[in-house]
Every structure is written in C-alpha cells, then in structure tokens.
Amino acid sequence: MTQPLDSYVSGTSDAPLLGETIGSALDRAVARWGDREALVSPSHDVRWTWREFAARVDALAAGFLALGLEPGARIGVWSLNRPEWTLTQFAAARAGLILVTINPAYRLSELEFALGKVGCAAIVTATVFKTSNYMEMLNTLLPELARATPGDLHAARLPSLRAVIQIGGPKAPGTVAFDDISAMGGARHREQIVALSKILQFDDPVNIQFTSGTTGSPKGVTLTHHNILNNGYFTGRAMRLTENDRICIPVPLYHCFGMVMGNLASVTLGATMVYPGEGFDPLATLQTVEREKCTTLYGVPTMFIAELDHPEFSKFDLSSLRTGIMAGAPCPIEVMKRVNTEMNMREVTIAYGMTETSPVSFQSATDDPLERRVSTVGRIHPHVEVKVVDLEGRIVPRGERGELCTRGYSVMLGYWDEAEKTAEVLDAGGWMHTGDIAVIDAEGYCNIVGRIKDLVIRGGENLYPREIEEFLFRHPKIQDVQIFGVADQRYGEELCAWIRVRAGETLTEPEVRAFCDGQIAHNKIPRYVEFVEEFPMTVTGKIQKFVMRDQVEQRLGLKAAKTA
C-alpha cells in the first residue's frame, strides 16, 4: 500500500535566482533594451525609453543624496500612479534608501503612524487627488512646515522627518519641488551613486510596505532587493513576458501588485510599463489597452468586472491582449471565463501570495487547462517551498485542508521594529504562516479555500464562504456576492450573503433561496440575504468582511451565545 503524498511542494526552474540589486537590474535593462519604451503614462504626457528613464533615475538619486539623505534612511512615497512614483522607487534603490510605500487612501492618523513607525527622513507626496488633499493633511500634521527651510524641517510630531518633496503644484511653503531635486546633485553626488552600486547588497532592505491593518495597527513588512526583484522576474516569466510586451498597470503602485509584479517584472524582462491613469477607471483602462496595444493587463476581480460590465466595453479593440494577472482576491470562475473569451486574454494567469512573501508564491501557467486556471491558483513558484499544516503544525496529506506556510527567497526580513509580531508568523524553520486555508492536489495545484479568520463555524461545522460564493456566482442575475459569518445565539455563527445584482435586474431573497434549495447543503444556504450597491474594501481590492459583519450584527442586534 503506497503512502499518500504529503502537501509539501517546492518550485524548480531552469532559471537561477537573480543575485543583483534593483539598480543593477536597471543598468542591465539599459544595456539590453536602451532604446525601447520603458514607461508610458499618457495622462502625464510621458513616453520614456529605458535609457531616458535610467538617466532621470540617476539624476534623482544624486539629488536625494544632495538633500542629505543617507543610505539606510527611509523615504516615504504618498501618491497615486504617476511617473514620479516610479522614478522615486528606482532612485531610492539606487541611493541605498528604503522606500516606504504609503497607501494614498490614508488619512491623518494612519499617515502619522506610518511615517513615525519607520522614522521616515523624507516624504515624496502628491499635492491633491479628487477628495484627498495631501498637502493640506501634511500641513495639519506638521504645522512647522509652513515656516521651515525646505529640506530642513523640525516637526514635533515626526522628529525624524526632514524633507517634504512635493509633486506638482502650486508649491507649498517649506516643501522641496520634486522637479528641482534632480538638479541638486553635483558631480560628487553622482560619483557617490556609482560608488554605492559597488557597495549595496541584494540582501539589503529596499522597501517597507504596510499591511492593510484589517486587525490591529498596520505592520511594516520589510523587503529586500532579492525578495522583490526576483518575485517580479519569476512572475513575469510565468506570463512569458519579453521586451515585446506592454503591461497595462491600473493596480496601485504602492502595493506589491503594481510596484513588483508590474514595475520589477518590466525591468527584469524588458516589458513596457503603461499607466492608464492615477486612480482606477475602467473606461480609461479599456482606452489605454486599445491605444497603446497592451499585451498584458493586471487587475483584481472587481476591476475586471467593472471593465467587462462597462456600457462601452464592446466598442473597444482588445485584440492586442494576450496575458495578464488576476489576483488580490478570490477570482470568481464566471469572471475568469469572460476575461478569457471577451477580453482575448487566453493566457491570463491567476496569482496568489501576500505582501510578506514579496508577494507571489503560486501562479497558474499560460498553458494550464482553463479548468485549472479557474479553479486553482496554479502551482508553486520557482525557488519557493510551501506546506499545508494542521492546527498542531503537522503537514497534512495532499487533498486535505490546512494552513498554508511559505519558505524561500521571497519571505520578508520581518515586520519593522516588531520582533514579537514577526515571531508570531515567522517560525524558527523560516516558514511564513499565511493564515490562509489551502488544499494542494496530487498534481501540485493549490486551491485557497478561505482565511482562517473567514472560516464560519456553524453549529460545530466548518463552512467555507468561498465555496458558497462560487455556487451563487452561477445565478445569471448576480454580478458579485460575498458570504461571511455573523453571530448567532443558537449556532454560534450563521451565514450572511451580500449580493450585488446586475444592472437592470431585480432579485429577491426567496429567489436566492430557491436557487440554493436542493443544490447545496441546507446548512450552506445563507440565513440572511441582503442586496447592496458595493462592498467595503481596501484600495487594493481586498474585501473587508469584518466591516460587513460588524454592520449586520449592529443593525440586526445579533449576539453570539454566551459561553462559560
């Protein structure tokens, strides 16, 4: 009798890991693809080749040194998707600085926490975008700014912060204009940049990204050149990207999806970065794909749904599209099928990971059967290991559910200045405990069946919201659906469904129940069904089920049974 396979898998590859810094990767891109387009941002009238882009990066890096920033210093970037964001990303890496990517949706208390937590010495900030007045918030947080000598700020609430670098205008008192920084670096600073390129190590920290903070304060995930450069490279290789590809990047740059899977995949493989706009707009994305003949499109499921359901969708020629990534949240099967056929993305891939793992650890292949691409997150990434463990930390057999753990080059250094929090998720063996419930099948394909925190335990039975969501997605009138648990006196928890109905359709609770009757087990039929216009979510498209749960429990006065 043969022993069942256990759920440990490791990724092999004919391509070795890149042993270089982000600055070295940019030098290599210039040498190989210097006259090809590197960055296109139509709304900012930018169209730079790799050679032009690198020259701007070097000038900005020298300017950062002239401003007094020293290797190891933290520099924040607080802006939506703009060319200046990407220049800052690469220039910070060149100058040995640690880029702190700040969510553009942050408000005062969150911004103060992030800048203070990691001791930022400078911040590159947008001026205003829609309802976010960044300079107004900074002036509230830093009343000393208006009277400060630019580049020599001394603020009571953020004592480490010396410089506020402003993108765009009108220029606020006490700030340094972004466009002026590049002219500040002299010959000495440029020589320093060259010297640094020989000293910087690929294991040096280069980026701090804050987790979304759905539970407790956000934590600063500290990532190295080696972490994120390789992850961008192998994510791009999974899509078979070359210098002939053009990646449409409507996902936020401040998150791994944009800056790693987008920008760093591009610099390692020569693809062009194309930004359809500062914030996500389905129409602008469709227009940009058509005009720029993009071959690759990124997005979270809600973005693809918005594009597919746009009233003008059928007018666009998307024939240039070939591949892309759908990630950031579970992908509804029906949406994936439409992206394959209606958007011409027959080689679209699903990717799975987390910020703490740079981010991708599983990705489907471009030639995986459609059934595999719509029902799993693919197979293990090269040079990465994973295992699925039970509550005692023991590996379970293939086909059994458990917590997914990841190990390898992609695992973060740790949470910035939080040794205890780091130890909670990163064990002595180097395994990152993801908090995700996964199943790995006999062929090594992984299915994420939920979050440990999302698991609904109704009357002692484990219910997986993802499974019920996939069933309800088959209803022709349902555009989007989220299932979550709410408190219940009798069962401990009950299921609640929030449903977004397709435009022009009407749907009732009895219709939803009738659709479920006899098709799924009675204990999987939601006790509460509510129809909503939108779901609360983070800027990266992650649904915040805890917010939904709180709202329903408060409105309906639901409480769990008292336990001894």
pLDDT of residue 470: 85
The strand pair at 347-353 and 323-326 is best described as parallel
pLDDT of residue 86: 98
In the block, residue with structure tokens 């917010």: 547
Q: Which residue has the higher pLDDT, 393 or 464?
A: 393
The yes or no reply on domain 456-556 and CATH 3.30.300.30 is: yes
pLDDT of residue 348: 95
Reported confidence tier of residue 561, pLDDT bands at 50, 70, 90: low
Is pLDDT of 184 > 50? yes
Q: Tell me the DSSP string of 153-213.
A: ---SS-TT--EEEE-SSSPPTT-EEHHHHTTT--HHHHHHHHHHHHH--TTSEEEEEE---
Reported confidence tier of residue 247, pLDDT bands at 50, 70, 90: very high
Taking residues 168-189, what's their average pLDDT? Answer: 96
10 Å CB burial of residue 442 (0-12, 13-18, 19+) is: exposed
In the block, residue with structure tokens 């990534």: 325
pTM of the predicted protein model: 0.87
pLDDT of residue 131: 83
Whole-number Å distance between alpha carbons of 273 and 282: 18
**Mean of all residue pLDDT scores within the chain:** 94
Instruction: Give tens-digit pLDDT for 210-233.
Output: 986 544 578 999 999 999 999 999
Lowest mean pLDDT of 68-77, 326-335, 418-427, 429-438, name the range.
Answer: 326-335
Radius of gyration of the chain measured on its C-alpha atoms: 24
Reported confidence tier of residue 522, pLDDT bands at 50, 70, 90: confident
456-556 shares the fold of 9-16+278-451: no
Taking residues 491-520, what's their average pLDDT? Answer: 94
Q: Which residue has the higher pLDDT, 411 or 5?
A: 411
Q: At what angle do helices 83-94 and 22-33 cross, to 10 degrees?
A: 120
Whole-number Å distance between alpha carbons of 232 and 261: 5
Q: Could you report how far apart the first and last alpha carbons of the chain are, in Å?
A: 46
496 contacts 483 by C-beta, under 8 angstroms: yes
pLDDT of residue 108: 87
pLDDT of residue 216: 57
Reported confidence tier of residue 105, pLDDT bands at 50, 70, 90: confident
Whole-number Å distance between alpha carbons of 433 and 288: 39
| Domain ranges across the chain | 9-16+278-451, 22-210, 456-556
334 contacts 342 by C-beta, under 8 angstroms: no
Q: Torsions phi, psi of 384, nearest 5?
A: -120, 150
Instruction: Give tens-digit pLDDT for 306-363.
Output: 999 999 999 999 999 999 999 877 677 788 889 999 999 999 999 999 999 999 999 9
Fold annotation for 9-16+278-451: Rossmann fold (3.40.50)
The sheet with strand 379-380 has its strands ordered as 46-49, 37-41, 272-274, 246-248, 296-299, 323-326, 347-353, 360-363, 379-380
Q: What torsion do the CA atoms of 307, 312, 314, 320 make, to the nearest 10 degrees?
A: -60
Dihedral angle sign, alpha carbons of residues 291, 295, 300, 302: positive
Is pLDDT of 92 > 80? yes
Q: Torsions phi, psi of 347, nearest 5?
A: -110, 25
Percent of the chain with pLDDT over 90: 82
Whole-number Å distance between alpha carbons of 420 and 546: 24
Its CATH class, for the domain covering 22-210, is alpha beta
Reported confidence tier of residue 3, pLDDT bands at 50, 70, 90: low
Percent of the chain with pLDDT over 70: 97
pLDDT of residue 563: 41
Q: Which amino acid is at 121?
A: A
Instruction: Give tens-digit pLDDT for 377-390.
Output: 999 999 999 999 99
Whole-number Å distance between alpha carbons of 274 and 247: 6
